Structure formats: C-alpha cells, structure tokens
Amino acid sequence: MMVAVLGNGQLGKMLQQAGQRIGVDVQMLDVLSDRYPGNDTIVTVEREHWPVNPYTDALQRHPNWLNHEALSNLSNRIRQKTLLDELGVATAPWHVPGSRTTQPELHDLLGSDIFLKRAEGGYDGRGQKRLSHLTIEPLPEWATDAIAERAIHFDREVSIIGARNRQGQMCFYGLTENCHQNGVLMVSVHQTDRLAYLQEQAETMLSTVMTALQYVGVMAMELFQVGDQLMVNEIAPRVHNSGHWTQIGASINQFEMHLRAVCDLPLPEPHQFGTSVMVNLLGMEWNPAWLVQGAAQFHWYGKLHKPGRKMGHVNFNHADAKRIVPLLEQLPLPTSYQPAIQWACDILDDSASRKNLFSLLPAIDRIFR
C-alpha cells in the first residue's frame, strides 16, 4: 500500500516511520518537487499551507488527493471561523476588518483586548498582533486579510486528536493539557483521567467538524477551557505537535492512526496508559545528554539549526505521574524552560509543598490567542 505525503518535515518523517511498522510505504513529497505519485497512491499532507506552484496545483488534481474541502476551509482563519459558526461549535467572537476599520471600532465590537491574526500562514505565535484599548494606532496593512478576535481569559489550554475513515468511523485520544510560551508549545501532559469530565464535549466538537467536512485521517483541535465549557482556538487537519505523546503513551500513535484511516485499515480505539509528557526541544543543538535517561524517548529531527526552531522532542511515560517529576527536573534545558517545566511538575505532583509557578508564564499565554 502506497501513501504520498505533501511536505518533508518531521511530521512526514514520523508518518514514514509509522508506515514501516505496519507495512505502508510512505513517500514524502517536497513542495518544490516534480515527483507525481502513481494514480493508485493515496495523497495526504503533513501541513495545511504550501507554496502555490505548478507542482502543488497538479498534485491537488491527483485522483486520490484527500480532504480538498477540509484543507480549503481550515487553512484560512476566516473560512475556519465561518465554518465553526455555521456548525454551532463554540469559538471566540470575531470580526473581519475592512479597509476603513479602525482599532476603536474593533474594541467596540470585541472588547478591550483583541488579537489580530493573519487569515493564512503564521503559526507558533507568528502572524499575530495584540491590540489593547490603552494603545490606539493604525491597523497594519495586512489587517484586511485577517481576523480580529476577542481575547478571552481561560483556565487551561487543551487539545484533542481524533481520526475518521471514509466510512465515518471515528476514534479519539484523551484530552491533552498544553503549556505555551510566547505562542510556542513547550510541554504537553496527558493523564488518562485528569480531564475525563471534558472528554465527551471535546469529542462532540471535533466529530462535528470532521463529519461536516467528510474528513479522512487524523485531525487536531486546540481548545480553551473556560469554566466547564470548551472553546475552539484553531484546528489542524493533520497530525499535530500536541499529539507526540502518543508515541509513548498509546498502543497506536497518531501517525499510525492517520495511515490506518487514509488506507481504510482497521481503526480501533487506541489503548492509552499511564501519564505521558512531551517536551519540545526548541533552538537547541544535538546533545548526547538527551540519551542519558533510560526513561526518555528521544526524537531528533535532523533539521538545520535555527534559534527557536523545533529541533526535536522528548517523551516520558510512567504509571506513577510523580515518578516523572525528577526526570523532567534533570533535563538539560535552558533557564527559559523553567516556568513550563515547573507547570508540568505541578500537574504531576499535587503535593502542597510544591509552589505553583504557572503565573510566571507570559500573560499573553494565559488568554485566548
């Protein structure tokens, strides 16, 4: 069985590794390539944005190109928010600025704190601008191709990952709690029962979107918890960074599940066990110290080093959540990681003696981005 993946980054490589385990031949397609897959090959993606060129245009006309409607709707924030409103799936109040819209007019519509986000492109906090009623200035030129949305204080940020096949069968992973700094995911924590009371609500929201789009494959939905209610932040029609913990904490990881769904292979509910933690390695050089801990599952992407770039990640899993705490504290990380690691340790160790440093995280990451 053949699957081609548009994109040759770390997600494509991990799909390729998962394919080797279950007998699916996965080839990665560079967006600047001229390599056209055979007509019997299933074509999927590891990214929802790519350069427009003759090759990518031709690839989207492939007879087995999947999820054309989903990719079109979810790769653009205006279309994504419109879809959520049409489906009745909760999201923050939003507005599309016009050429003559002013910042005060946006505050009248949406409140004192607003985020302006480019309609296309931009990730990990890029392509965004925060607007405060305390500082009034002209909107940037790109504001007419953007959404403005109300900044909403949330209790925690979570994500859910699910999969759907052509027959409409779906399965889901448990909610994952995430910690961002400066808009970039630092650490994810998954505990089997911790967020179980929100699981059904999250599954309903994600299944509503997947069904409406007749989506095939793995989809990730980032959510914010406000009280006992969930609100969609963004949706990714692909495997997702916040699901990397499934490589160590689930019987079928998200990469294998995506291939099962697109290839019409069995789609059982994955067994999820213990407590799992994923730590992104941002802007770091390769370090043999990552290999010291026998409890750590180390993934290195082999990319050209750049400051702030996702260079790899480390996964942990244990039946006793508190046993992961010293492992996290021993990781050779820059001091900038301290708030995120402490945040995870506070979740894993609920002892009264451990001080909660979650308040040290930048304020921008405690509100709806």
Each domain of the chain, given as residue ranges in start order, spans: 2-65, 93-150, 156-366
- Classified as helix, coil or strand, 244 is coil
Residue 236 parent element (H or E)? strand 229-236
Phi and psi at residue 251, in whole multiples of 5°? -65, -30
CATH 3.40.50.720 for the 2-65 domain, yes or no: no
What's the CA gap between 237 and 74, in Å, rounded?
A: 7
Nearest CA to 259 out of 23, 51, 19, 38 is that of: 19
Q: Name the CATH superfamily, with its identifier, for domain 93-150.
A: ATP-grasp fold, A domain (3.30.1490.20)
Position 347, amino acid: I
Question: Mean pLDDT per 10-residue run, the chain (369 residues)?
Answer: 95 97 96 91 95 93 96 96 98 95 95 93 73 92 94 94 98 97 94 93 98 98 97 97 98 98 97 97 93 92 93 96 95 95 93 41 45
pLDDT at 367: 44
CATH 3.40.30.10 for the 156-366 domain, yes or no: no
pLDDT at 182: 85
What's the CA gap between 308 and 126, in Å, rounded?
A: 12
Other residues' Cβ atoms within 10 Å of the Cβ of residue 138: 8
pLDDT at 125: 60
Residue 171 gets which letter from DSSP?
Answer: E
Same fold, 93-150 and 156-366: no
Report residue 127 as tokens: 């392509």
Phi and psi at residue 356, in whole multiples of 5°? -80, 115
Q: Is 49 exposed, middle or buried (0-12, 13-18, 19+ CB in 10 A)?
A: middle
- Classified as helix, coil or strand, 266 is coil
Nearest CA to 154 out of 186, 124, 105, 198 is that of: 198
